[in-house]
A and B are shown apart, each in its own frame.
Chain A
Amino acid sequence: MEFKDYYKIMGVERDATQDEIKRSYRRLARKYHPDVSKAPDAEDRFKEVGEAYEVLKDPEKRAAYDQLGANWKAGQEFHAPPDWDAGFEFSGGGFTAGDASAYSDFFESLFGQGFGAGPQVRRGAFHAHGEDHHAKVLIDLEDAWHGATRTITLQVPELDPQGHLHTRERVLNVRIPKGVKQGQHIRLAGQGAPGLGKGRAGDLYLEIEFRPHAFYHVDGRDLYLDLPVAPWEAALGSTAKAPTPGGIVDMKIPPGSKSGSKLRLKGRGIPGNPPGDLYVVLKIALPAADTEAAQTLYRKMEQELRFNPRAHLGV
């Protein structure tokens, strides 16, 4: 078991006042709150800070912890000395069974069962709903288009009968409903953590995230596609082939189209009720002037078109 430096976690000196500890805790709790923070390790940090505060906010627990000495380094192999808490009066107020799994082995070895004289009345008859679990699933645009089945592997922390924490791999096969949008959640009732006692199991929430696509951008159910066109196609109008997730279509390019012109293909986005649209954004591509003939054509345009692309800038 590794030693945990609660002062370092809290970002305070060992002689910090209770007020300083409280201020630091509140700042860190805001920073790492899993609903707010985007940091990948936010949940672990939040729990760690909560555990450190659980000890440091309580003068009795803090004094007992201090007595382990200042020579311990975070991560060092640690065993609680026998009778390490002798001579301390604990007035209960320890943690409750419902919180137990949230704390580390280190915390448990110091303040777990049997710490002080506080009776553990909550044990045995405790019921609690299982926690909800959250996970992200990366899917391809085509999966939302057609619907799909995805196999996901979850790391599930579990307490064994001795109260030790293990992670177990859990494989789930999940149907991705057709027409699902980026950022939506699939709720799998009862697939979260099992409840304690008679409490019901939590739910599993899967957040849908799209893998970036080579040429479509997704916005809700709408898709955006940059379509390169030749200058004469844009100027004179034409019919051009364009890809859509449902197959290749012929697009009518109106004469006088500009770079950035947006054409809408109604109902060609991600299916649903209503289905999304496909927006085709025209990008004018220039032919290379790498042959004598091409250069002659460009020069001819220069002489005959009298075109000033910067007229609107007044130059």
Chain B
Amino acid sequence: MKKSTPTPVTGAILEEESQLTLGELCMACEVYAERIIELVDEGVLEPVGREATQWRFAGVSLQRARIACRLQRDLGINTAGAALILDLMDELEQLRARLNRLR
């Protein structure tokens, strides 16, 4: 029997996806707004807009917020600690990319 190929699904590139509101980000991360506001205060997420009600988050925030929430939940890390880990992970990622270029 011929295996049918499913119709192609199209996804958006997360890093370039349209802007998310605070509410949408909370839904996607399954956390209360307070958790997200803490991450903004810590500088982990950098929304555009002055008031929380006007905040718009870039697509990449979703991934960062989820990692931060998982680290806090699984390892009992506080917000500042999660922020530090995310920064170090970014740096590690850049160094790995550079290493790959040199090889």
Contact = CB atoms under 8 A, between A and B. Distances in A.
Interface of A: 26, 29-30, 33, 35-36, 46, 129, 132, 149, 151, 171-175, 177, 180-189, 191, 204-206, 217, 219, 224
B49 interface: no
A151 B9 CA distance: 10
Interface in B1-31: 3, 5-17, 30
Given A35-B70, A173-B6, A173-B7, A185 B101 contact: no
A173 B93 contact: no
A181 B63 CA distance: 16
B51 interface: no
Contact of B67 (A35, A129, A186): A35
Given A132-B66, A172-B9, A185-B15, 12 more contacts: A29-B75, A35-B71, A173-B6, A177-B13, A180-B13, A183-B93, A185-B13, A187-B13, A188-B9, A217-B101, A219-B101, A224-B101
Interface residues of B, number: 30
Contacts of B15: 181, 184-185
B84 to A, nearest CB: 12
B11 A189 contact: yes
Nearest to A188: B11
Contacts of A186: 11-14
Contacts of B66: 132
A187 B11 contact: yes
A29 B74 CA distance: 8
A22 to B, nearest CB: 11
B14 A187 contact: yes
B9 A173 contact: yes
A99 to B, nearest CB: 13
Most buried by A among B8, B9, B97, B101: B9
B89 interface: yes
Contacts of B14: 184-187, 205
Interface in B82-103: 85, 89, 93, 97, 101
B41 to A, nearest CB: 21
A29 to B, nearest CB: 6
A204 B101 CA distance: 29
